[in-house]
Amino acid sequence: MAERKLFFNLDDQGPIAESLRVLRTNIQFIDEKEKKTVVVTSSIPKEGKSFIAANYAMSEALVGKKVLLLDCDLRRPRAHSSFGIKGHHGLGEVLMGEKNVEDLIVREVERNLDLLPTKHLEHNVTELLQSKKMKSLLKKLQESYDLVVMDTAPLIVATDAAILSKVSDGVIFVNGYDMTSKKELMYAKEILSSAGANIYGMVVNKIDHSGYGYGYKNHGYYNYNYKYYQDYIKEDK
C-alpha cells in the first residue's frame, strides 16, 4: 500500500495546515472564478509539488467545493500515493482512447475530492498532453467540478506544465527551500512565461522550524534535461 501523505484537515491547527489555508485564501483573492483549473509544478524533482497539489486540493474540498486531483505527471505518477491507494490506470489510457474517464476516476478519496490517477508512460507524453483529446477532456471535467488541480512534471524534466498552463487558469510554482539554483529557477520561470502562464505565485516548501531548509544544497545547472529525466523516471522502479 502506498504511503499516505495528506496532512490537511479541519481540526489541524499546525503550521502546515495553516500555510495551506493561506495558500487557499490567496488564490481565491487572486482569482475569484467559481470554477478553476490549476496547474502545480516545480523546477526540479523532490521539491514537494505532489504534496502541495494533494493538500491544496484537500483544503478546497473541505470548504465544500467539488474537487478533482488530476495526475498529469505521466512520467512518474505520484498523486495516488497521497491517499494510500495504488494507481495503475488513469489519464494515459483515457488520452490514448483505451479507457473511459468515468470508469477510472476514483470517487470520494476524501469528502468532495475525487482523483484521476495515471500509470507510468515513457513515450509520446508531451504529445498526449498537447492533444485535442486532452483539451476536450478538461472541458468535460470542468463541467463536473468546481476545481481541477493538475499535478505536473517538474519543468526541467519536461515542459508539460507550460503546455497545460495554456488551458488552465493559473499555476502554483513550488520551490523546495535551498534545493534549486537561481539559474534553475529563472529557467523554469522563463518556460512558464514563454507559454503565457498566469503564475499565481511561488510556494516555498521544506522549511524546518528553525528556518533552515532540510533539502539538499544548491547544485550545478544542467543545460539540458536528459539526466534529470532519466533519474526521474527510474527512481521508483
For 61-79, the pLDDT digits (tens) are 999 999 999 999 988 877 6
State the chain's maximal CA–CA distance in angstroms. 50
Q: Please indicate, yes or no, if residue 118 is contained in any of the structural domains.
A: yes
Q: What is the mean pLDDT of the chain?
A: 83
Q: Please indicate, yes or no, if residue 224 is contained in any of the structural domains.
A: yes
pLDDT band at 121 (very low <50, low <70, confident <90, very high): confident
Q: Please indicate, yes or no, if residue 215 is contained in any of the structural domains.
A: yes
Q: Please indicate, yes or no, if residue 28 is contained in any of the structural domains.
A: no
pTM of the model: 0.84
Per-residue pLDDT, 217: 34
- Calculate mean pLDDT across residues 105-114: 93
Residue with cell 534545493: 179
Q: Please indicate, yes or no, if residue 201 is contained in any of the structural domains.
A: yes
Rounded CA-CA distance 205/175 in Å is 6
Domain range enclosing 41:
35-234
- Calculate mean pLDDT across residues 141-156: 96
Greater pLDDT, 229 or 198: 198
Q: Please indicate, yes or no, if residue 25 is contained in any of the structural domains.
A: no
Rounded CA-CA distance 126/114 in Å is 24
Q: Please indicate, yes or no, if residue 197 is contained in any of the structural domains.
A: yes
Q: What does the block give as the cell for 163?
A: 503546455
Q: What is the CATH number of the domain that holds 65?
A: 3.40.50.300
For 163-217, the pLDDT digits (tens) are 999 999 999 999 998 898 999 999 999 999 999 999 999 999 887 655 444 333 3
Q: How many domains does the chain have?
A: 1
- Checking DSSP bridges between strand 67-71 and strand 147-151, what pairing results, if any? parallel
Q: How many CB atoms lie within 10 A of CB 21?
A: 16
Q: Please indicate, yes or no, if residue 4 is contained in any of the structural domains.
A: no
* Residue 124 clears pLDDT 80, i.e. is over it: yes
